[in-house]
Structure 1
Amino acid sequence: MELSDRSKSLGWFIPLRLASFIILFAVVVLYMEYPPFLQLQFIIYASLTLAFTLLLTVDKKLKLINVTYSFISLQFLFEILIESGIIYATGNVNSPFSGLFVLTIVSAALVYGMVGTLLIASAVSFSYAFIIWLGLFSSTDTSLSLYAIQTIFVGHENVFYSILLHILIFYLVAFISGYLTERLKLKDKQLEVTSKALKRARLETDDILLHLNSGLLTIDQTGLIIFFNRAAEEILGYNSHDVKGLHCQEVFSERMPLLADYLMEGLNKKINYPRKEIDIKSKDESLIPLGLSTSVLKENDGNLRGVITIFSDLTEAKNMESKIRAADKLAAVGELSASIAHEIRNPLASISGSVEVLNNDLKLTGDNKQLMELIVKESHRLSKILSEFLLYAKIDKPIYNKVELCHLISEVIQLLYHHHSFHSGIRIKLETDMSIIYVIGDEDLFKQLFINLMVNACEAIGSADGDIICRIAKNKNSEMVEFYLQDNGPGISDEHLKNIYQPFYSTKKSGTGLGLAIVHRVCQTLNLKMSVVTQINEGTTFLIEIPEFAVNIQKNEQYTTA
C-alpha cells in the first residue's frame, strides 16, 4: 500500500478506533463494573490505543508506519480478547454484545484490505466459537477433545446454528467491508489521478494564457473582470490584482471607454467582433492604437458565461506601416526625380559647354565678366548635384565579391588627395592590425561609401589643419571587421545629428547634402551596421561593421570571388 493510501486509510481508521475504545470502555467499566479477569487486558488495550494515537500525532509524515501497524495489530488482538471476555461474562451465546466483533472486522478492512479482513474474521469466528464452547462445557468437561466439540453439535442444535449464523455474518461483513474498502481505494486512486491531471492541465492552460504575447481579458455575465494576463497589464497599464473582481466600465471608463463599450456591447447583444481598431490612452496620456477581437462565451446549454477579448498594441505595426509608405513614396519620387535629373543633365551639359566656349572666346570685362564666371560656377555646381543625385538614386542591387579592405582604403586615400576638399593641412593616417583583410561586399559601393565618408571629414575640418584617422580592426567576439573613421573637426550638434542621413540636408554653404545620404544608402544596401559618436569641438567618429570573408564564405555560397 502506498504512503498516500495508508494515510487516507488511517484518516478513516482513527475515528473508528476511538469509537471502538469508547464503546468497550463503557461496557467494561460502566456496564460490567470493571471485572478482575478483564483488567489486565483492558489496561494493555488502553495503553496501545493511547500509544497509537500519540504516534500518529507525532509522526504526521508516517515515517514510522511499520511501528504504527505493529501497534494496530496488537490492538486488534487485545480487542478480540476483551470482546470475547465480554461475551463470556454477559450470557455467552445469548450475549447482546456479539456485534462488537463486527466493529472490529470493519475497522480491520480500512487498513488490511480484503485478505487481512478475512484473516481477522477467521480469528473472530474462532474466538467466538471457542468462548461459546468454553461457557457451555467448562464446568463439566475441561478437555479440548474432538468428542467434546462434537457434543455441541449433537446436544445443542440451537447453539450450533447460532455459532454458524454468527460466523457467516462475520465473514459476510468481512467480505462486504473488504470489497467496499478496495473499491473505495480504487476510486480514490482514480480521483487522485484525475485531480492531478485536471490540476496540471489547468496550470498549463493558465500558464499559457498568462504568457501570451497578446493581451487577454475576460469578463463574466455581469461585466466583472475575471481574467487579466500579463500582456494585458503591460498594454493597458493596470495591475491584474487591482482590476480583478471590478466592473469593466468602472476600470476602463476614464482612459479607454471604447474598450468597455465593446465589452458590454458584446455582453448585452451577444455580438462577436472579429477585428476592431481603437485608440486608448496610456498612463502618460499618449495614444496607443489597439487591435482587438471579442468573442461571447456560452455554456453547453447556450446560457451566457461572459465575453473574452484578445488585443495587441499596434504601435510598432503602425510605425512600420508608416515607414513602408514613406519608403514607397520616396522610391517613387526618387525614380521620378532620377529620370528628371537625367533629362536635365544632358541639356545642362550642352549649356555648360557652350558657356565655357563663350567665356574663352569673348573678351568680357566688368559686370559682364562676373556674370559669365557666375554662370560657369553655378553650372558646375548644378552638374555636381545632378551627378551625386543620380549616384544616390541608382544604388540598388549589389554584386557581392571578396574584397581586400586595406588595399581598397589605400586607393580611396589616394583619390582623396586629389579632391578639391583636401588641402595640405589635413593629415590622413591608416591604422590596421593586419596588412591583408578580406571582407564581403560590392567593391564599387565600398569606394562610394569610403570616399564620401572621407570627403565629409575633410569638409568638416574645412580650411583649418586637422587629422583623419582610418582604423581597421577585427572584432574578436564576432565575425565582423570594424572600420573607424575619426576626425578632429567641430563635431555635430544633437539638433543636426538626427538629420545627417537625410538627402539634401547640409549645414555647409557649398554642400549638396548627399554625401552622408549616399553613405547611409550604401550601408542599407549592403546590410552594414553603421553608428556615429560625436562631441562638439572634439570631432566625430563613424563606425561601420563589415562581414569578414574567411568566415562567411563557408556559410553562404551565394558570395562569389573576384
Structure 2
Amino acid sequence: MDSRPRSSLLDPREVLRWVFLGRLTLLAAIVIGAIVGSAGTSDGSAVLVATVTLGIALVFTAGSWFWLQRGARAPRRRFLAAQVVVDVVAVTIVVHLTGGPTSDFAPVYILVIAEAALLLPLPGGVFAGVLSSLLFGVDAILVQQGDVDGALALQIALFTAVAVAIGILGDRLRRTGLRLGAVESALEQLRLDTSVILDTLATGVLTVDDRGYLMYLNPAGARLLGVEEGAWQGGQAVMARLDVIAPGFGGVLRRSVEEGVPERRFKTHVERDGRRFTLGVSTTVMDRGLEGPHSATALFQDITDQEALTLLTRRADRLGAVAELSASLAHEIKNPLASIRSAVEQLGRGVREPGDREVLERLVLNESDRLSRLLSEFLDFSGLRMTRQEPVDFGQLVGRVADVVRQHPDARDRGVEVTCERPEGRAVLPGDEDLLHRAVFNLVLNAVQFSGDAGRVEIELRRVPGREVPGPPDASSAWRLRVRDSGPGISPDDAQRIFDPFFTTRHGGNGLGLAVVHRAVEAHEGAVLVGDAPSGGAEFTLFLPAEDRE
C-alpha cells in the first residue's frame, strides 16, 4: 500500500471519475447535436469529426479507467497531465464545431483549467490555462479566419487570468488536503495504537458520557466485571447495572459525571466464578470546556492479592509492634524492680538506723506504686478499642475538648491560648464518642504541654473530599482536624517514633498520649500525620471518615 498520506479534500481518483463522465457526456451531446444539425443537408463533416473525437475519447477514457482501477498507487503526474491535455483538445474541437469564438461552449475551458488546478501542482493549472488560450486563439484566428478583436482578446486574457487564479486556489486546496490527510493518517495510527494498548491492558477501562451511557469498555474491564466481552455495547445505560455487579461503582461514576470531580480511591467487590474479588477504582473527568455534566472514565483493577498482602503486612507489623512494645515495657519495669530489689536486700541485711530504714521502705512503696500505675496505663492502652459505633457530632466534641483543656493547669497556669475553629452546624461521623474524646484530648493537651509559656494552640476542623486525604480513609469525604502549637517543633528523627508507646521527649511523660491518639484513629479507620507548622512549632493532622463506606 502507498504509505504517503492522501488528501482528504481531493482524492485524484474521485476527481478523475467525474472528469471521465463529464468528458464523454459532453462529446456524446456534441455528436447528437451535430447529427441533428446536419439532418437534411449534404455536409456531414461535423458529424464525422465529432464521431471520431468521441471514439478516440472513449478509447482513451476506457484505457485510463482500467489503468486507474488496476493501479494500487496514486496516479502519477504524467497520467494526470495527459488527462488535462486530452480534455483541452476535446473542448477545442467542441468549440470549433459550435462556432469558434462565438461558441457557447467556450466557458467549458474554465472547467478544464479547474480540473488541472485540482489534479496538478500550481504550474499545472497555469499550463492548462495557457494551452487553452493558445488553442482557442489558433482556432479562432487561423482555422476560423476570424479577426483579432477586443472580444477575442478579452476571452483569451480571461482564460489566462482564470487559469492563474484557479491554479493558486487549487494548489492551496490540494496542499491543505495533503496536510489534512497526513493528520488523519497520524490520528488513525494513534487510534490503532491506542486500541491495541487498551485491548491488551490488564487494567479495566470504562468510559461513560454525560448521560451515563457506555462509550467504551475494554476486554480487561469486561473480564473484571464478569461481563461477556461484547455483551455491553456503546449507547447503553450502565450506571444501575454497575451498581448491581459492583456496589458503589455506578455511584462513583455518577458523582464524577455530575460534579466534574474525579475519584482517586474507591474499593468495591464483585462476585465472579464463585469467588469474591476486590476492585480498586479511580475516575478521571474529561472536561471539554462546556458547562454541565461531563463524561468520565473509570480505571479499575483486581487488588484482591494486594489487599491480602497488605493484611499480612499489617499482621506482621502488629507482631513487630507487640515485640517492640514488650521490650519497652520490660525496660520500664526493670528500673523500678531493680530499685525495689536493692532496697529489700538492704532491709533484709538489717538496717540499724531508723532513718535509713524509713527511706528504704518509702522507696519500695513509691516504686511499687510506680509499677502499678505503669501496668494500669499499659493495660488501659492495650485494651483500647472501639466498643460501639454511632453517629457522633465531632464538631461539638472538639469544642468540648478545647474548653476542658483551657481549664487544665498546664494551660491555665502557663497562660497558653487555645483557639478552636470549627464549621457551623453538625459535623457528624460514625465512631465511639468516648474513644474520640480521649484521642482529641491527648492530642490537644500534648500541644499545650509543648507550646511553651504564653504559647498558642490552634485547633481547626474542616470537611475535605476523600481525594485530598494522603492515605486512608477510602471514603468520599473526611473530617480533617488540624492542631498546631507554638513549641519548638519535632525533629525528623523523633517524628519517626512520635506515636510509639513509651516514647517521649517531655520530662515526666509516660509516652502513651500520642500512642493513644494513633490507636484511636486507627480504630476509626482514619489517618494521623505529623509535621512542622507553617509558622513554626508542630502540626498534627487527623483524617476521619465523614460517613460509612459502601
Higher relative contact order (CA 8 A, sep 6+): 2
- Greater Rg by CA: 1
